[in-house]
Amino acid sequence: MESGGGPLVVVPADVLTRWEGADSEGPESDYDRACAVAGYAGLLAVGPSHALVLGDEPSSTAFLPEHEVFVRWVAAESEAELLGSVEAALADAAWEDGQVWDVPGPVVLFDSAWPGSEVEPDNHARVDLAAGRYEVRTALAQPNAETAFQLVRMVRLR
């Protein structure tokens, strides 16, 4: 998933239409709130739920369901090189403890400037997370001098 320049956001599908993006009424739009998130990830209220903001840089992002991790491209010679480094990086990462996110079910990844009611097939990705509580952990991986990527891992809490 790509961004037009701002952060990407992961919104629960059941509150997707409540995300107003840059079109919000009032003094601060949802996009403004997303841009104010410091660090690699943060949570913002959306109706009765929360959205996960993937902050720091507007990096190309993919979700790898087998590891329940968002991978955010910082630098790499190729996509294959980056993705080939993920498994080792997951084992070696210096994880930062994160926030607890109550996920009601599937979520949608898209550019935070878009209103959730206007997501289209080519500007979002559906992520089938199981409902539950997750700790969101983040890390920066640098497996070699030419490759770096951010990891935002969803750790299911029991």
Reduced to 3 states, what is the DSSP secondary structure of residue 67?
Answer: coil
Q: What pLDDT does 2 receive? A: 76
CA 147 to chain centroid: 20
Q: What pLDDT does 105 receive? A: 95
Per-residue pLDDT of the chain (158 residues; tens, 9 = 90+): 777 778 999 999 999 999 999 987 778 999 999 999 988 999 999 999 999 999 877 788 999 999 999 999 888 888 888 888 899 999 999 999 889 999 999 999 999 999 999 888 788 999 999 999 999 999 999 988 888 999 999 999 97
Q: What pLDDT does 20 receive? A: 94
Bridge partners, residue 140, by sequence: 150
Strand order across the beta sheet in which 132-144 lies: 61-64, 69-75, 147-156, 132-144, 100-103
Bridge partners, residue 73, by sequence: 149
Strand order across the beta sheet in which 107-111 lies: 41-46, 49-54, 8-12, 107-111, 124-127
pTM for this structure? 0.92
Q: One-letter amino acid identity for 144?
A: N
Q: Which two tokens stand for residue 48?
A: 């009765």
